[in-house]
A = this chain, B = another copy of it.
Amino acid sequence: MDIEQFRKAGYQAIDRICDYYYSLNEQSVISKVEPGYLREHIPLAAPEKGEDMQVIADDYQKYIIPGLTHWQHPKFFAYFPTAGSFESIIADLYASSVSNPGFNWSCSPACTELEVIVMDWAAKLLGLSPDFYNSSGVGGGCIQTTASDSVLVAVVAARSLYQRNYPDTKMEDLVIYTTTQTHSLGAKAALILGLQVKTLEVTAEDRFALRGEGLRSALQEDERGGRKPFILIATVGTTSSGAVDNIPEIREVVKDYPSLWVHIDAAWAGVALSCDEYRKELYLDEINSFANSFCTNFHKWGLVNFDCSTLWVRDRKHLTDALDITPPFLRTKHGDAGTVIDFRNWHLALGRRFRSLKMWFVFRGFGAEGFREYIRRCIRLNEIFVGLIEQSNTLSLVTQPSLALTVFRVSPMPESSNQAALSTQSLNELNRLFFGRLSSKTDIMLTQTTLNGTFCVRLAVGSAHTTEKHVHEAFALVSEEAKIALELWKQTFQGAAVVG
């Protein structure tokens, strides 16, 4: 393809992306294809001769788009959003056009320098302590691939620090602390590193937040057992229910355990720190006062296209002490002089995409004000949904809603005050039936979860295209399906499941 053919294909791609967004509302959210659908349309090997871009682009429309789940769809309420933006697509296009693994300063100064700057922009937007700014020269922030990578980097840094401080520690004794509500990234980091993980229990009464007392008794128990907890992955906004670990209590406990690194995983909720009114409930002051590392994903609820996970550390030296390897062919005069940051020593891989450009375009295109307005709109939309649930006879909240996330389930009112409560198992059966029906719909997408044994359904608002209308439609559908599920369940179980 020559430059003029690229221009033509590029214009067409832009036009087709416009068409895609114009039609998004009419598309089903969930792909209707069956496993293996694509094999029928694609040959078993690459063609021998090059094909015309027009044919390829048409095949994308014909075979790929129907196989997509539309994460930008206004009625995508599943998982957490990956809320992209047009600003971000444009930035990524520029970045892609100069394909460039900016692993050190000299191999593309702009990549490093822009990242240094926009990570400080982001830190300021979120109200992070200046200790975390790159301009501090001590702490700093760096873009990672995903929150899993961010936590892995933090765990590696923490382990390396612990082993330097206590060189006789056996790997087998090291323990990573998580809770039952920590994202699977905690367990995965442990699998990857071959380390033990301790999963602390949390309760519905505490809204699934880790409390100080639970942490302290676990630490004491491990101390007695000779195990070495070296990092706690605390969560601000868990995946299942948006729970926020009790950071103030955690801070008090770790005062007595200064060698315990505290990583704050705020992959989803962290961007809400951009709004003053959520800083208290998300414990910003406490995070700022003691957390060793903090992560939020701008590619989730932050308008930056996937991938863009932002990780800040209070002491960059702990990253470079753990990860710095400089072979001869990577020596450069600036790197050797120590005047510039080589981000390759702040993450797992060597090469890295030019992702700061997306953050720059988004922050400038929206402005801090526009960014906050978007966050507030999502939360407001979720509050509308919560209001409707609260008025419902069939649906109820399972736990307090969190920002733009609601966890709910079908929970029938007792038919008479004499009727006993339904068992968890019985309610779970009902809700599995309910979710089974919901997930067979293709014009909306929600996900399931289980909270301490309670099966429930999650709705997370995040698409930049979601409006009140979509939330009302979502509620109408959920409400309708709840009624049908309830009816079917009553018929099937004929009240047999009601515990006497």
Pick the residue among B9, B33, B53 that contacts A109 (CB under 8 A): B33
Q: With CB as the reference atom, state the residue of chain B lying closest to A19.
A: B3
In the complex, the answer to whether B56 meets A101 with C-beta atoms within 8 Å is no
Binary B-proximity of A49-85 (CB < 8 A = 1, otherwise 0) = 1110101110010011111111110000011001111
In the complex, the answer to whether B114 meets A64 with C-beta atoms within 8 Å is yes
Binds B, one of A359-367, A382-390, A392-400: A359-367
Q: Does any Cβ of B come within 8 Å of A479's Cβ?
A: no
Which chain B positions have C-beta within 8 A of A17?
A: 6, 10, 93-94, 97
Q: A47-B367, A100-B306, A305-B99 are in contact. Are A113 and B38 (CB under 8 A)?
A: yes
In the complex, the answer to whether B107 meets A159 with C-beta atoms within 8 Å is no
In the complex, the answer to whether B108 meets A31 with C-beta atoms within 8 Å is yes
Q: A22-B3, A184-B327, A192-B348 are in contact. Are A100 and B11 (CB under 8 A)?
A: no
In the complex, the answer to whether B109 meets A35 with C-beta atoms within 8 Å is yes
Copies of this chain assembled into the complex: 2
Binds B, one of A148-156, A205-213, A276-284: A148-156
Q: Does any Cβ of B come within 8 Å of A137's Cβ?
A: no
Q: Does any Cβ of B come within 8 Å of A458's Cβ?
A: yes
Q: Report which residue of A10, A31, A36, A88 has the largest number of chain B beta carbons within 10 angstroms of its beta carbon.
A: A10
Which chain B positions have C-beta within 8 A of A368?
A: 45-48
In the complex, the answer to whether B7 meets A18 with C-beta atoms within 8 Å is yes
Which chain B positions have C-beta within 8 A of A170?
A: 170-172
In the complex, the answer to whether B194 meets A193 with C-beta atoms within 8 Å is yes
Q: A350 CB to closest chain B CB, in angstroms?
A: 5
Q: A69 CB to closest chain B CB, in angstroms?
A: 5
Q: With CB as the reference atom, state the residue of chain B lying closest to A96.
A: B92
In the complex, the answer to whether A351 meets B109 with C-beta atoms within 8 Å is no
Q: A124-B46, A328-B450, A348-B192 are in contact. Are A57 and B109 (CB under 8 A)?
A: no
Query: How many angstroms between the C-alpha atoms of A7 and B15 in the bound complex?
Result: 7
In the complex, the answer to whether A45 meets B348 with C-beta atoms within 8 Å is no
Q: Which 10 A-B pairs have the closest CB atoms?
A: A67-B110, A10-B14, A84-B99, A171-B171, A50-B367, A38-B113, A6-B86, A46-B363, A148-B349, A99-B305
